[in-house]
Chain A
Amino acid sequence: MTLLTEKVRDIQAAVAAIPEGATIMVGGFGSPGTPFALLDALLESGQGGLTLIKNDANEPGIGIGRLIEAGRVRRLITSHLGLNRTAIEAMNAGRLEVSFHPQGLLAEKIRCAGAGHGGFLTDIGLGTEIAAGRREIELDGRCWGIEPALHADVALVHAERADRYGNLIYRATASNFNPLMAMAAEQVIAQAYRLDAPGELPIDAIHTPCAFVSQVVQVDRATSEQGVRPHGL
């Protein structure tokens, strides 16, 4: 793990260390919480053959949509692509392999990895197409599906505030998958609008303790090119 005193990086250096073919968790539900600056830097950095784990595929031309359009993404693990027609086209044309999970199971698989568990038991989806091929066991007289934890090499997360040690505070509905992913990956790169000295964040308002975070990058507020939309998302 990175020493507390060595976590603040420049954005290019932070993403340059991500290997080709990495499995990367990306925070965000639609635009809020999506680490747009890190994703744009990753696109510039050039790594391909990536597996991305994100709730959705953003929209065409922004966020992970740009990486998919540039052919950098081999596989996407997600819950819904409804707002990104270019991602749906890439999937239908066979250029992008997509695995769908119900949204809450996706969150829980990530939470489980972050909690150091191997997986969990659930009754969600039993008997439906989504549970096809899933292992089942009986416990306390009930049937349960086994859902393995979902791990990643890297997580890219977005926070409203951070300190130099990597403590993170999320804002409003920009929280979503970020605190879960910030615990689940081997390397966690956080971008934040505001970067403070240790001691400046109220200790009982910190959502992700710094122990989970590898690197912190201070970024400017997202612009309209980076997903701030007049209509929402």
Chain B
Amino acid sequence: MASDTQRILARAAREVIPGQIVNLGIGLPTRLFHYLPDEMEVLVHSENGVLGCRPRRDGEAPDHDMIDSGGAYITTRPGASVFDSATSFAMIRRSRVDLTFMGAFEVDAAGNLANWKIPGKFSPGIGGAMELAQKVRRLVVLCSHNDKHGNPKILARCRLPLTASGCVSRIITDKAVMDVTPAGLAVVDIAEGLDPADLQAATEAPLLIDESRLGRF
């Protein structure tokens, strides 16, 4: 039985189209690396200044000048390039990165994202999250549907300071895959065995659910 995290990652990997330039946010999204097969022609961008990174294989010696933005020693695939921080963020701001995956503290029905600060508790700085959220063509949020106390993370409206507004295209959680639409959050897929009413009960935002078209994952 796959864990919730594995199910989120396996579902998220289906979002990546061969030929794309993709950024993997720090934390859970970084683990998507292991779901992208070597033969898939995708270049993974890391904002510290590399396009075309891949994880080191077992036994491959680390190059101490080669990290991703999460700090792991990485290596590169054919077609890769390295560059400075200004170039890296020009690539982001000019929307030359096709797809990014990010974690979330809160995400809401209007596609607003809060993932950098919990006032009084957690404020280590925003890093590259704001520019990625605001400018990458397609942002897919990967997160648990509820926090560790069971509170919903998919809200009617975010309460924490925003990373960017209206930036989220799709949300993938352990319970559902939801698209941000002008009418609200539309459920695309629902977790195997989960009742739509129970999904709504675990979610603060009102969900648009068309049971005849619902996928399972």
Which residues of A line the B interface, CB within 8 A? 29-33, 55, 78-83, 88, 98, 100, 102-105, 107-108, 110-111, 123-125, 127-130, 160, 170-180, 207, 222, 228, 230-233
Contact = CB atoms under 8 A, between A and B. Distances in A.
Interface of B: 46-50, 62-67, 69-73, 82-86, 88-90, 92-93, 117, 124-131, 134-135, 161-165
A175 B65 CA distance: 9
Given A128-B163, A172-B66, A80 B89 contact: no
B128 A233 contact: no
Contact of B126 (A130, A160, A175): A130
Given A173-B50, A233-B71, A180 B62 contact: no
A233 B67 contact: yes
Contacts of B85: 29, 55, 103-104, 107, 176-177, 180
A104 B126 contact: no
Given A55-B85, A232-B72, A81 B125 contact: yes
A79 B64 contact: no
Contact of B161 (A107, A111, A129, A170): A129
Contacts of B71: 30, 83, 231-233
A213 B17 CA distance: 44
Contacts of B70: 232
A91 B92 CA distance: 30
B84 A178 contact: yes
Nearest to B69: A29
Given A102-B128, A128-B164, A108 B89 contact: yes
Contacts of A83: 71
